[in-house]
Chains A and B, each alone.
Chain A
Amino acid sequence: NAGVTQTPKFQVLKTGQSMTLQCAQDMNHNSMYWYRQDPGMGLRLIYYSASEGTTDKGEVPNGYNVSRLNKREFSLRLESAAPSQTSVYFCASSLRDRAGQPQHFGDGTRLSIL
């Protein structure tokens, strides 16, 4: 059971380049999320998709776009990468329509922008 799969695991970009982080889940979850993790900051929500066909901004959406491609896949795009976007990115999924269901996380993508 793969759970939540993120690709790539590591990436180095130059300032101004674009990049799409991919996420797929095989748990038939309806909701998916993108977070960034910075030292001393915990995890902060970038965007989420409560259900297929919907996306909403989280706490730190600036500089990012998302696409909920289908029920399984949720991608995060950096159109013009900036050094401030150097971070570890996590994708997660959950059964949001059942109260209190935990989120399940992928292994993360470490992104460095030079």
Chain B
Amino acid sequence: AQTVTQSQPEMSVQEAETVTLSCTYDTSESNYYLFWYKQPPSRQMILVIRQEAYKQQNATENRFSVNFQKAAKSFSLKISDSQLGDTAMYFCAFMGLGGGSQGNLIFGKGTKLSVKP
């Protein structure tokens, strides 16, 4: 069974600085997708970024980028120029493409990020 591990329960960063959130996963599949979702205090689940395992190029979305290391099964999220609005829980999630559960998301337990002024 696939698992997703976020080893940092809480992190903090100063406004305008850069922070990296860690995520590792375990799977025997060769193709899959990885996601980062953001959950601010409003409780909404907001998609931040998506990465396909077959694509070697790391995904980027404005200030958000990932470091995808397929062999190491690592998928970290880098937030540049942190803003107060980035304060949120961040969830890493795995989506396999094989078997009956394809399309289901498996979530890590989350990292609570606080951006300090």
Contact = CB atoms under 8 A, between A and B. Distances in A.
Given A42-B91, A43-B91, A102 B47 contact: yes
A78 interface: no
Contact of B103 (A31, A88, A108): A31
B44 A100 contact: no
Contacts of A43: 45, 91, 105, 107
Contact of B43 (A50, A94, A102, A108): A108
A48 B33 contact: no
A40 to B, nearest CB: 6
A41 B4 CA distance: 11
Interface string A71-114: 00000000000000000101010101001111111011000000
A61 interface: no
A44 B110 CA distance: 12
A26 interface: no
A107 B52 CA distance: 26
- 9 A-B pairs with the lowest CB-CB distances in the bound complex, closest first: A105-B45, A100-B33, A96-B103, A42-B107, A42-B109, A43-B107, A102-B47, A108-B43, A42-B110
